[in-house]
Amino acid sequence: MSSHSISPQANLIEQYGSATVIGLGATGYSVARYLLARGLGVTVFDSRDVPPLANEFRREFPSVTTVFGAFNPEQIIADDLIVASPGVSLKEPLLREAKRNGAHIVGDIELFLQENTKPAIAITGSNGKSTVVTLVGKMCQDSGLETLVAGNIGKPALDALTDSQDFDVVVLELSSFQLETTYQVPAQAAAILNISADHMDRYDSMGDYVLAKARILRGAKRAVLPSHDEWLQQITNANIVTNFELEEPANDSDFGLTRKSNGRWLMKGQNKLMRVRDIPLIGLHNVKNVLSAFALVDFLALPLDGLISSVKSFDGLAHRMQTVSKKNGVRWVNDSKATNIGATSTALQSLEGGVVWIAGGQAKGADFGDLKHSISDNIKQLILIGEDADKIEGALRGLLPITRSLDLSAAVAEAANTAQRGDVVLFSPACASFDMFRDFEHRGNEFAACVSDVVGSAL
């Protein structure tokens, strides 16, 4: 057993002389740079024989010991601080053995938060994280605050500290994987945007997944939560709770919608914020995202006119309900970021008129029966591709017309033959991309290229 006695609340960097970094992706590289800059001895492990950043890392840090290939628990020193990358599960036998031997295991976000002295806004959720994080960052930046956007988006958080970057406020996108290795999140405002089944190949149950997400509220001064998410009804330990929902606000501190004589308005309590029709993003789910953004920056008391201007000039992010073509009366929508059922359900429910839907990929342990409530008569056809097409077809057979295509190019061609003027072709896979593509961005770019080849890219 380790003889090292540590205090999780105290600065870990001051309690250790050496550290072991598990995983040499972008996060692991950032962690190693940070630890070396703070004077710790560092050893880097990666289960891959040749991690993508291995050569670059060895050139920059030739004296650092790197151990690549199958993990061997005997090589881990329990008295080291162990910093695990989010892609490495805590169920990995190497980490389980280290923990049994008394090791303290954290992630890069824990190290960042222990040193950070600036106001933090932290955001998690099954869907919409990147959209809300980017919008909140834009609201802050447009209002004159030097803003760091980091975490699961943008630059690794620790790079800002290593490079002595100056900022007034930090906006963090945090995945459940990152939160697993974070002791607490002392944010001025922390949000869980929504909860739906995701990463069920990594978690034993939805309850475990929800508890991982809920770690974002540990230490937060304000919790920003949806009003009616069944998974979040009993979860909060923040001092202040602000709710947001697509309905009348329940009190003066909540955010919601109301209908006036001149249309629907986003509201804080009884105070009007902006008209729904002035939001350029597609779908009511994005109206909800905007409400959460207003709630998250509320403690900063930024000028309302500037916040409204930020929303009006925000066109959203690529691969998230992104219109890539409008040709012959058909709109083609790239929602490649929909890597889980919740995201695709939201996409399907946000569209009116005829829909030709393309889906499929790697299921990540998902139960596609959960999509049944999102199937309506306006979905004219489902075109399936990818590794787990059988699972989707099995769950939805009889609810709508289903066909199969060999690849994305063939699916786009079939959709072009099916869609009529006024229809939307929606590429919302409800699956991970790794069976056929490097990542969701590669998949989305390929979809846009296929559409351009088949129908043109006119907008």
pLDDT digits (tens, 9 = 90+) for 231-272: 777 676 556 889 999 999 999 999 999 998 888 999 999 999
Residue 334, beta-bridge partner list? 322, 427
Burial of 104 (0-12, 13-18, 19+ CB in 10 A): buried
**Catalytic-residue membership of 129:** yes
**Catalytic-residue membership of 334:** no
3-class DSSP assignment, residue 121: strand
The structural domains of the chain, with segments of one domain joined by +, span 16-106, 111-312, 322-454
Query: Per the residue annotation, which of 116, 152, 334, 445 is the catalytic one?
Result: 152
Does the domain spanning 16-106 belong to CATH 3.40.50.720? yes
Q: Give residue 248's identity as a one-letter amino acid code.
A: E
Question: What pLDDT, on a 0 to 100 scale, did the predictor assign at position 234?
Answer: 66
**CATH number of the structural domain 322-454:** 3.90.190.20
Chain position carrying tokens 């219109």: 323
Question: What pLDDT, on a 0 to 100 scale, did the predictor assign at position 199?
Answer: 60
Question: What pLDDT, on a 0 to 100 scale, did the predictor assign at position 2?
Answer: 46
Say if 16-106 and 111-312 have the same CATH topology: no
Could you say which residues of the chain have pLDDT below 50? 1-3
Question: What pLDDT, on a 0 to 100 scale, did the predictor assign at position 106?
Answer: 96
Cβ within 8 Å of residue 417, ≥6 positions away: none
Its CATH class, for the domain covering 111-312, is alpha beta
Question: What pLDDT, on a 0 to 100 scale, did the predictor assign at position 231?
Answer: 77
**Catalytic-residue membership of 237:** no
Whether the full predicted model's pTM is greater than 0.85, yes or no, is no
Query: Per the residue annotation, which of 199, 337, 364, 380 is the catalytic one?
Result: 199
- In angstroms, the CA 334 to CA 14 distance is 47
Question: What pLDDT, on a 0 to 100 scale, did the predictor assign at position 155?
Answer: 86
Question: What pLDDT, on a 0 to 100 scale, did the predictor assign at position 3?
Answer: 47
| DSSP string covering 46-96 | ESSSS-TTHHHHHHH-TTSEEEESS--GGG--TTSEEEE-TTS-TTSHHHH
Query: Per the residue annotation, which of 116, 127, 129, 288 is the catalytic one?
Result: 129
